[in-house]
Amino acid sequence: MQENISIQQQLVELLKNKKLKIATAESLTGGMISEFITQVSGASEVIECGVCSYSNRIKHELLGVSRETLDKYTEYSEQTAIEMAKGIKMLSGADIGVSTTGIAGPGGGGEDKPVGLVYIGVSAKESRAYKFNFSENGKNDRNKIRELSSIYALKIAKEMAELL
């Protein structure tokens, strides 16, 4: 695929060619991943659904993130990202579930979990999470953190789709 094609175009093309479906469970990105995917003509062939799961209640009740996970690890954790990705995959019937959770700021962060901390979960044949810190030298641009999280989630979903 050409370098000048956007990551979302590459992902949609790959999913279409492989006849795969994707679904998103977004907390800190608030639907941005779904928005990026649906900017591409033909996205309706590959996206099953997107859930903006900002609240822990929705993470638990709709996506199946366990109360134990939320209590022990918090919503900003690898464990939560994995359970969110598994949950949206199961809920939607998609081949790939992708999730985001983290702290976009500018407030809300702490020493252990700073602003810019992001977990991206993915579930297909296997499930895993990736940890990032998108804060730039202590500068916390909320929109940039959300955008970078979405772009990286698309890249991770594409890598997963290539393996299926």
pLDDT along the chain (164 residues), means of 10: 78 98 97 97 97 97 98 97 98 98 89 93 97 83 95 98 96
Q: Tell me the pTM.
A: 0.95
Amino acid at 48: E
Where does 7-163 sit in CATH, by number?
3.90.950.20
pLDDT of residue 3: 55
Q: What is the distance between the alpha carbons of residues 150 and 132, in angstroms, rounded to a whole number?
A: 12
Residue 20 neighbours by CB under 8 Å, 6+ apart:
14, 46, 94, 95, 96, 161, 164
Q: What is the distance between the alpha carbons of residues 81 and 62, in angstroms, rounded to a whole number?
A: 14
| Helical spans, DSSP H, in 74-141 | 78-92
pLDDT of residue 146: 96
Count how many Cα atoms sit within 13 Å of the Cα of residue 130 in the half-sphere of its side chain.
18
pLDDT of residue 1: 42
Please give the DSSP secondary-structure letter assigned to residue 112: S
122, 127, 131, 132: CA torsion to nearest 10 = -20
pLDDT of residue 136: 77
Cβ atoms within 10 Å of 113's Cβ, excluding its own: 15
Q: For residue 147, what are its two tokens? A: 């955008």
